[in-house]
Amino acid sequence: MYKTRRQLLASAVALTLAVGSPGLALGAELEKAKVSYGGSAWLSHYPVWVGMKKGYFTNRGLTVDWKNFSTGSARMASLAVGEIEFGGAGSISAIALMASGTKAFYVLAAPDSYATVEGIITSSDIKTVKDLKGKKIGVPFATSSHVLALDVLEQAGLDPNKDVTLINLPASDTPSALRAKQVDAVATWTPAFNTLKAQANTHVLLDAKEFSLYKQYNLGPGPDVLIANRSFVDKNPKTTTAFLDGYFEAARFIAENPKDAAALLTDLTQLSPEEQLAVLKDIEWIGRGEQQKIMTAGGSFTKGLQSLAELLVRYKQIDKAPKVDDWVKTGLMQ
Amino acid sequence: MKSNVAVTDYGAPERASSKGKAQWPRVPKLAISLISCIALLSLWEGVTRFGLVEPLFLPAPSQILNRAMLMNDQGILLGHVVASTWRVTVGFLLASLVAIPLGIFLGFSPLSRAVFDPVLSFLRPLPSMSWIPLSLLWFGIGESQKYSIVFMGAFAPSLLYVMEATKGVDPLLIKAAQNLGAKSKDVMIEVILPASLPQILSGLKVMLGIAWTCVISAELVAAREGLGFMIMNGKEYFQTDTVVLGMVLISITVMATDLLFRFVEKRILPWKA
């Protein structure tokens, strides 16, 4: 009798493990066991990298194949044609792709917020935005920093086309251009932003908290979004859910264990553990629980994203504001 | 005996039927080109309009035209064309001004050629884009940086064209001039330059097209206007119509400059015309 009871107990434990362990249970049910993710060394991709290293995807029966892309537009084009299933992107790229009319992708989540690692840095004699009148500003065009520059100039009553000269520079070239006095100010993001911030003779004129939509919706000029190929998500909802589960487990791990996460990320970013930790400290991770709340039609993120689209139209960066809600997919995270 | 080979108005021989079959009507070349263009554009418009190809991947010709009209209304279209054309013109002229005399000199003097050959062999394979980091450090982010990219992309190949053209001059002409007492400088200016000029101009015509590819690289960084900038910015915003419009404008501008080049060539080399 005792033996039988022990056997019963063992069977119950085995059954619980089989049901409770996502790897065993979900793995068998996933429509696809392998997906590709388009990433880069940018911070919004950290959860996927950490998730791969920590086995948060394989635990769920899902293999993630990391594909590196140097530009967001190439990553999004690849996702739109179905070469990769998931990817991270800046919201400006996502809105631009929506404005092109393609419905090939979904926005699944808004994983992070980093308003303090992006901004405008100037030589020390420029104290206010109004002081930028008549000056040259180096800006990576078609990026969040570009939108930030247009927005703060407008807030200060300056015309970006007449009162200042905006010069298109890659973010990585902004420190050398400012140091060489080729420009009077730069709008840029980390790591260039942090590099310049640490230098003498320069100062942070403003960071992304000055962006008009940040004041209204707590939304930076180019919040990151997690995107997925629409047709893949429609056909493979369980795989998508498994991916999201692994993704947010990794994001939570990064938020709770920044030192351990930094050690895992140095392979990707080539930063030192100390530099990596400093970058991690500037990121606010938006947890899985909050996603459903902010991503719904009336949610703060979706409303902010819509306002950002309208802002892009006003700044003549896109022709027509898309109804962003049509691309946002909720309900996959339980 | 009557020939059974007819010649169309555009010069291609056409075999006439000897058994009384109906002959193809003689159609002017221009009309054929026009018809093929219209057919291609209609097909292109059709596949995009009926949703066979998404506009993101291939915008319809009408969409590209709309984009052109919109940018024209905004007053920015001509600015892009003028900015790129000016950069090409300055960079290309500078490259030609250095490459023509230097190329003639190197073509004429085997010793100098031996001295310069290693440098030329090093410079020749370098794509214009590889000069961007150095040009930014040397010339900053202004217009001279853009000219320098076009210059570096066009200079080495132009120099080679000129050298080869010079080497191809009939040695008898040079010998005859020297026998008549001409000095090296006179031989170069009075004999080699006129004799090699047709080939030099043909080479420069090719180089003008290459200079246009260089300007796209030049406008990747620190530009706020120009066709290269327009294409790259359009790419970032997934405005494929802007990208294709930029490509079309480059082609049209190159065709226009080519016509201008031919006109100049006819003036300089009337015997070639």
- Report yes or no on B182 lying in a domain: yes
> What pLDDT score does B16 carry?
46
Residue B190: C-alpha distances to residues A169, B107, B163, B198 (Å): 49, 15, 17, 15
A chain contacts of residue B239, beta-carbon cutoff 8 Å: 96, 100, 318-319
Residue A161 forms contact with B (CB below 8 Å): no
**Residue B9: pLDDT over 80:** no
The per-residue pLDDT for range B159-176, each reduced to its tens digit, is 999 999 998 888 899 899
Where along chain A do its domains lie?
26-110+223-327, 116-217
Task: Return the beta strands (E) in chain A as ranges.
Answer: 34-39, 63-68, 86-90, 105-109, 112-113, 118-123, 136-139, 165-168, 185-189, 202-207, 224-229, 284-285
Q: Is residue A45 a contact partner of residue A111, using CB atoms and an 8 Å limit?
A: no
Q: Omega of the bond prior to A223 within 30 degrees of 0, cis? A: no
pLDDT band at A6 (very low <50, low <70, confident <90, very high): low
> What pLDDT score does A190 carry?
81
> What pLDDT score does A116 carry?
82
Q: B5-7 and A105-109 as β-strands: parallel, antiparallel, unpaired?
A: unpaired
**Residue A27: pLDDT over 60:** no
The number of domains in chain B is 1
CB-nearest to A142 from B54, B221, B233 is B233
B chain contacts of residue A69, beta-carbon cutoff 8 Å: none
- Report yes or no on B29 lying in a domain: no
How long is chain A?
A: 334
Q: Please tell me which residue, B15 or A132, carries the higher pLDDT value.
A: A132
B chain contacts of residue A94, beta-carbon cutoff 8 Å: none
Question: What average pLDDT does this structure show over B128-145?
Answer: 89
Fold assignment, A26-110+223-327? D-Maltodextrin-Binding Protein; domain 2 (3.40.190)
- Report yes or no on B93 lying in a domain: yes
User: Quick check: B238 and A76 CB within 8 A?
Assistant: yes
Per the structure, the complete domain to which residue B264 belongs is given by: 72-268
Residue B271 forms contact with A (CB below 8 Å): no
The per-residue pLDDT for range A229-279, each reduced to its tens digit, is 999 999 999 999 999 999 999 999 999 999 999 999 998 988 888 888 988
Rg of chain A, C-alpha, whole Å: 22
The per-residue pLDDT for range B208-266, each reduced to its tens digit, is 989 998 998 899 888 889 999 999 989 888 899 999 999 999 999 999 988 888 888 88
What is the CATH number for B141? 1.10.3720.10
Q: Is residue A32 a contact partner of residue A233, using CB atoms and an 8 Å limit?
A: no
| Nearest partner of A141 among B63, B83, B235, judged by Cα | B235
How many interchain CB pairs under 8 A, A with B?
71
* DSSP state for residue A218 in the 8-state scheme: S
Residue A316: C-alpha distances to residues A102, B153, B246 (Å): 20, 34, 18
Residue B68 forms contact with A (CB below 8 Å): no
- Report yes or no on B47 lying in a domain: no
- Report yes or no on B23 lying in a domain: no
* Whole-number average pLDDT of chain A: 87
- A116-217: same fold as A26-110+223-327? yes
The ipTM, to two decimals, is: 0.73
A chain contacts of residue B140, beta-carbon cutoff 8 Å: 180, 182
**Residue A34: pLDDT over 50:** yes
Question: What average pLDDT does this structure show over B82-101?
Answer: 95
Residue A309 forms contact with B (CB below 8 Å): no
- Report yes or no on B25 lying in a domain: no
Question: What average pLDDT does this structure show over B175-196?
Answer: 88
- Report yes or no on B33 lying in a domain: no
Architecture of domain A116-217: 3-Layer(aba) Sandwich (3.40)
- Report yes or no on B186 lying in a domain: yes
Question: What average pLDDT does this structure show over A33-61?
Answer: 94
Alpha helices in chain B (DSSP H): 29-49, 61-73, 77-108, 110-123, 132-139, 143-167, 171-179, 184-186, 193-218, 227-236, 240-268
